[in-house]
């Protein structure tokens, strides 16, 4: 019995071992005419086996690139597209810079701070107060989801005042969303406990 661990490494596993064996056969052909015909047949077969690539722009170009890659760039036949470069494929992407923005209240997140910053630029009036109420309700939901506990409404309004430097305020008659209307996230332990205690109850025997 031959195990996969003992076989040749699959360069692109999505095409399977048979395609890689066909490409290896084409690579070893000395006759350039036969090699070209073999490669064209392999490209057609690869397209039939991976029809999802047809939804991708220039999918035939991608098939040719994959063929050269799976041959370890040893196949030397005319291609309708520029051959991929080994150096570019092996090159590592540039390191992304980590965002250094400091969040004042982590449980609200950066989006709340962006919303507050936008509201601070608004003109005073009914629209700004409505915006403030929407932000305050989101803040309360985020707070409860993060801490999994109830929170005093005055705390939310105090935090809103701190984030906006006193420039974003709700209407005097505004009331925050009720705690009962906020669905708390169900923790894994609670779900596990519920599943463990659940028992199927069939029909009662008489």
- In a domain, residue 163? The reply is yes
Could you give the number of structural domains in the chain? 2
- In a domain, residue 205? The reply is no
Q: 79 with 116, same domain? A: no
- In a domain, residue 141? The reply is yes
Q: 31 with 74, same domain? A: yes
- In a domain, residue 104? The reply is no
Residues spanned by the domain of 132? 109-183
Instruction: Indicate whether 96 pLDDT > 90.
Output: no
- In a domain, residue 133? The reply is yes
Report the distance separating Cα 60 and Cα 66, nearest Å.
Answer: 10
> pLDDT tens, 33-52?
999 999 999 999 998 877 76
Residues 6+ apart with CB under 8 A from 150: 144, 179
- In a domain, residue 149? The reply is yes
75-91: average pLDDT: 88
3-11: average pLDDT: 75
- Of 93 and 205, the structure prediction assigns the larger pLDDT to 93
pTM attached to this predicted model: 0.47
Q: Which residue, among 52, 80, 51, 54, has the nearest Cα to 67 in the 3D structure? A: 80
Q: 179 with 124, same domain? A: yes
Residue 186: the pLDDT is 58
Residue 53: the pLDDT is 65
- In a domain, residue 99? The reply is no
Residues 6+ apart with CB under 8 A from 80: 60, 64
Q: 85 with 12, same domain? A: yes
Q: 118 with 171, same domain? A: yes
- Of 133 and 90, the structure prediction assigns the larger pLDDT to 133
Q: 85 with 114, same domain? A: no
From residue 156, alpha-carbon distances to 5, 34, 164, 165, 176 in Å are 59, 76, 12, 14, 9
> pLDDT tens, 137-194?
999 998 888 877 778 899 999 999 999 999 999 998 899 988 777 766 555 455 455 5
């Amino acid at each position: 019995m031959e195990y996969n661990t003992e076989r040749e490494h699959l360069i692109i596993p999505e095409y399977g071992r048979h395609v890689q064996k066909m490409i290896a056969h084409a690579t070893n052909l000395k006759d350039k005419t036969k090699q070209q015909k073999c490669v064209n047949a392999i490209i057609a077969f690869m397209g039939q086996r991976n029809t999802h690539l047809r939804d991708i722009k220039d999918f035939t170009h991608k098939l040719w690139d994959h063929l050269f890659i799976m041959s370890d760039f040893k196949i030397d036949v005319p291609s309708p597209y520029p051959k991929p470069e080994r150096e570019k494929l092996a090159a590592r992407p540039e390191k992304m810079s980590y965002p250094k923005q400091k969040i004042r209240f982590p449980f609200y997140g950066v989006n709340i701070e962006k919303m507050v910053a936008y509201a601070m630029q608004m003109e005073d009036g009914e629209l700004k107060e409505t915006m403030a109420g929407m932000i305050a309700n989101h803040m309360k939901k985020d707070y409860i989801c993060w801490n999994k506990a109830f929170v005093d409404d005055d705390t939310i309004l105090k935090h809103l005042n701190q984030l906006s430097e006193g420039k974003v305020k709700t209407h005097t008659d505004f009331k925050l969303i009720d705690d009962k209307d906020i669905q708390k996230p169900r923790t894994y332990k609670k779900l596990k406990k519920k599943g463990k205690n659940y028992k199927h109850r069939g029909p009662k025997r008489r």
